């Protein structure tokens, strides 16, 4: 018998998917670009390749399907029957046959179209042929949808051996012919497999069928249980226990049990002690499930062993076995040695109840996301009240842990003492060699300093302006700084009597004036201070550099400035302004300012123009 591995059969895609797969494969694996300007041979080649490629793909995939699906004669009759039940043998054969036909047809189509393509004379024609070819292949592949159904199969272990468990869906009590597919599955399984049978009985009746009905079912299919170890399992004992059911039901159960015993006896050999045919369990509370499993496995194992023992081959094997048992040399009993402590512990464990774990606590308090275990629960502290304390780690920019010290109080005391001493010392210590000035003296000092600072400031201003501007000579004094009255005031504030000095000054100036009165002409040179200065207003000292506010009208010529007449002065001003204007517009500080803050500012050099050229911006 050929072993087929049903798992290895590749899943058959639906018709549509199948076509999609093949076509997309074609698209990816063959060149995609073709132009009508290419040589005709090249175009033909391109399309022929596509058609051929598609055909080979279809062929390949269909072949794999045909080969992977087993032939009905080659598989275990159980599978064969199962297949028949689910799908119908004939249908299966037909399907595979049709796939085969499709494969051949596709091959033919491809051949034909390739032949036609050889004579294609334009891109358009070639393309049309290709489309037609692919279209026909597509139609052929359509009607193959394969599905499989399976029962629940699982594995379990017992005594180092693997046991396969098949769960068959429930069976209804009906005549054989009326049964539907699912039931037929179960029945076929029962009929063909050499297995132990577990008949599940719902004791509580919550499935909707009474025990009587279930029992009737049992009797109708018991013929299938010939020669198979049978165990009756009463399920759902958490709802209804075996003892609690009614008398009639009990009788029925007993009948089933006796049937089961028959199989046991029929198995050969006396019923061993411990062999059971009637078991109870509950899947909800999970009691008795293990017992059922063990019983079933045990029975099956026994059966297999029996069969093996009876077969001819066993004699060959038996010769090779020999179980050696050590010969007892005296009558002394030598039981296995178990330390006393272990025995005691075992005994204790049996009586001790389950310890309450953290996990249980967590579950009680709301589960994993809600409850957070208190990690401080098991702290060993001097006082248990402190367990949940939050200790501060940082205080005022210090780490508290750095200060923690068992003797901290003592040391603190010492510190305080020390501090007290130091403070006393400080208080005694105040002495100074040099005495402080009296308030009067301090005021004087302040005055002196004010005057000095004023002088310094003036000097600084003069210094800065003198380099960049021509200074007006002293005799053309606009600010009335050099008046005799002023001199008088200053001298008197210093504590001197100014009268003599002022007289001398006046006399001198008068002298000069008297001399000049003889040849007094239209000379503008030595202008009298009083004259035109009437128009000038006093400005504050600090503004001597700037000429922002009060200025004489432009056309008035002051002799020291160096202009011939007012016209020249006006022209000079105009020229000066003109030279500055352009620079100011360019935001330049002066002649020498060549700074370009950003050489190429992006916003001026980027972008498109709706109107105009970008060559000049």
Partner 1 sequence: MRLEKCWFCSSTIYPGHGIQFVRNDAKIFRFCRSKCHKNFKMKRNPRKVKWTKVYRRLHGKDMTQDTTFEFERKRNRPERYDRNLTENTLKAIKTIDKVRFRREETHHKNRMKCKIAKERKEARKELDQQIHMLVAPGAKDIHLSPAKVTVKVQHESTNENRIEE
The residues binding partner 1 (CB under 8 A) are 379-383, 385-386, 389, 391-406, 408-409, 411-412, 414-416, 418-419, 422, 426, 432-437, 441, 443-445, 447-449, 451-452, 488-489, 491-497
Look at residues 604, 605, 583 and name the one whose alpha carbon lies nearest to residue 594: 583
Nearest CB to partner 1, comparing residues 274 and 495: 495
- Min dist CB 407 to partner 1, Å, is 10
How close are the terminal C-alpha atoms of the chain, in Å? 91
- Min dist CB 458 to partner 1, Å, is 14
Task: Report the distance separating Cα 565 and Cα 555, nearest Å.
Answer: 8
Nearest CB to partner 1, comparing residues 194 and 417: 417
502 C-beta neighbours (distance < 10 Å), count: 15
Task: Report the distance separating Cα 100 and Cα 319, nearest Å.
Answer: 54
Angle, helices 499-516/484-493, rounded to nearest 10 degrees: 170
187 C-beta neighbours (distance < 10 Å), count: 18
Nearest CB to partner 1, comparing residues 459 and 551: 459
φ, ψ of residue 117 to 5 degrees: the values are -60, -30
- Min dist CB 414 to partner 1, Å, is 8
Radius of gyration of the chain from Cα atoms?
61
Nearest CB to partner 1, comparing residues 248 and 413: 413
Structure token digits, residue 302: 């026994």
Task: Report the distance separating Cα 65 and Cα 12, nearest Å.
Answer: 7
From residue 225, give the alpha-carbon distance in Å to each of 79, 219, 289, 300.
19, 10, 22, 13
- Min dist CB 387 to partner 1, Å, is 9
- Min dist CB 386 to partner 1, Å, is 5
Task: Report the distance separating Cα 302 and Cα 308, nearest Å.
Answer: 10
- Min dist CB 499 to partner 1, Å, is 11
What DSSP letter does each residue of 367-389 carry, written as one string?
-TTT----GGGG---SSGGGGG-
Nearest CB to partner 1, comparing residues 344 and 497: 497
Nearest CB to partner 1, comparing residues 150 and 493: 493
Structure token digits, residue 607: 């972008």
Nearest CB to partner 1, comparing residues 358 and 405: 405
DSSP β-bridge partners for residue 197: 230
- Min dist CB 481 to partner 1, Å, is 17
Nearest CB to partner 1, comparing residues 406 and 590: 406
- Min dist CB 510 to partner 1, Å, is 22
Nearest CB to partner 1, comparing residues 398 and 513: 398
- Min dist CB 403 to partner 1, Å, is 5
Instruction: Label the pairing between strands 197-202 and 161-167.
Output: unpaired
- Tell me the residue ranges of DSSP E strands in 203-295: 230-235, 278-280
């Amino acid at each position: 018998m050929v072993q087929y591995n049903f798992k290895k059969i590749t899943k058959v895609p639906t018709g549509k998917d199948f076509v999609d797969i093949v076509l997309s494969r074609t698209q990816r694996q063959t060149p995609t670009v073709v132009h009508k300007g290419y040589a005709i041979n090249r175009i033909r080649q391109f399309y022929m390749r596509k058609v051929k490629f598609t055909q080979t793909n279809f062929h390949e995939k269909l072949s794999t399907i045909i080969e992977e699906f087993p032939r009905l004669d080659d598989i275990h009759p159980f599978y064969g029957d199962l297949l028949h039940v689910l799908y119908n043998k004939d249908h299966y054969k037909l399907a595979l046959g049709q796939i085969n036909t499709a494969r051949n047809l596709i091959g033919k189509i491809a051949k034909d179209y390739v032949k036609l393509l050889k004579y294609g004379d334009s891109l358009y024609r070639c393309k049309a042929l290709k489309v037609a070819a692919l279209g026909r292949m597509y139609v052929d592949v359509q009607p193959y949808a394969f599905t499989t159904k399976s029962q629940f199969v699982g594995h379990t272990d017992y005594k180092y051996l693997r046991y396969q468990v098949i769960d068959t869906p429930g069976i209804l009590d009906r005549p054989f012919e009326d049964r539907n597919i699912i039931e037929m599955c179960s029945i076929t399984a029962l009929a063909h497999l050499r297995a132990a049978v577990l008949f599940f009985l719902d004791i509580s009746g919550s499935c909707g069928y009474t025990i009587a009905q279930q029992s009737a079912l049992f009797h109708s299919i018991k013929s299938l249980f010939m020669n198979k170890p049978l165990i009756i399992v009463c399920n759902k004992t958490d709802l209804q226990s075996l003892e609690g059911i009614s008398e009639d039901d009990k009788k029925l159960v007993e009948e089933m049990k006796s049937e089961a015993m028959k199989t046991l006896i029929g198995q050969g050999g006396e019923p061993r002690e411990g062999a059971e045919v009637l078991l109870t369990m509950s899947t909800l509370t999970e009691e008795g499930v293990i017992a059922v499993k063990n019983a079933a496995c045990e029975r099956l194992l026994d059966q297999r062993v029996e069969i093996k023992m009876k077969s001819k081959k066993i004699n060959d094997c038996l010769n090779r076995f020999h179980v050696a048992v050590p010969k007892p040399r005296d009558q002394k009993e030598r039981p296995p040695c178990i330390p006393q402590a272990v025995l005691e512990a075992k005994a204790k464990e049996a009586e001790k109840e389950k310890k309450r774990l953290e996990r249980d606590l967590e579950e009680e308090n709301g589960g994993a996301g809600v409850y957070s275990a208190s990690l401080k629960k098991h702290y060993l502290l001097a006082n248990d009240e402190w367990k949940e304390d939050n200790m501060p780690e940082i205080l005022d920019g210090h780490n508290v842990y750095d200060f923690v010290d068992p003797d901290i109080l003592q040391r603190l005391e010492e510190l305080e003492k020390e501090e007290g001493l130091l403070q006393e010392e400080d208080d005694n210590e105040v002495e100074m060699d040099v005495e402080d000035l009296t308030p009067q003296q301090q005021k004087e000092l302040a005055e002196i300093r004010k005057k000095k600072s004023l002088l310094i400031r003036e000097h600084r201003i003069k210094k800065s302006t003198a380099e960049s501007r021509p200074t007006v000579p002293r005799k053309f004094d606009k600010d009335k700084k050099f008046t005799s009255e002023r001199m008088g005031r200053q001298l008197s504030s210093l504590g001197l009597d100014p009268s003599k000095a002022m007289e001398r000054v006046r006399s001198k100036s008068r002298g000069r004036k008297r001399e000049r009165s003889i040849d007094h002409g239209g000379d503008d040179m030595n202008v009298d201070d009083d004259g035109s200065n009437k128009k000038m207003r006093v400005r504050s000292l600090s503004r001597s550099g700037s000429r922002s506010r009060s200025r004489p009208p432009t056309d008035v010529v002051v002799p020291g400035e160096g202009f011939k007449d007012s016209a020249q002065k006006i022209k000079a001003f105009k020229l000066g302004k003109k030279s500055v204007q352009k620079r100011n517009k360019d935001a330049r500080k002066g002649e020498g300012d060549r700074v370009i803050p950003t050489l190429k500012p992006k916003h001026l050099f980027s972008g498109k123009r709706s109107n105009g050229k970008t060559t000049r911006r």
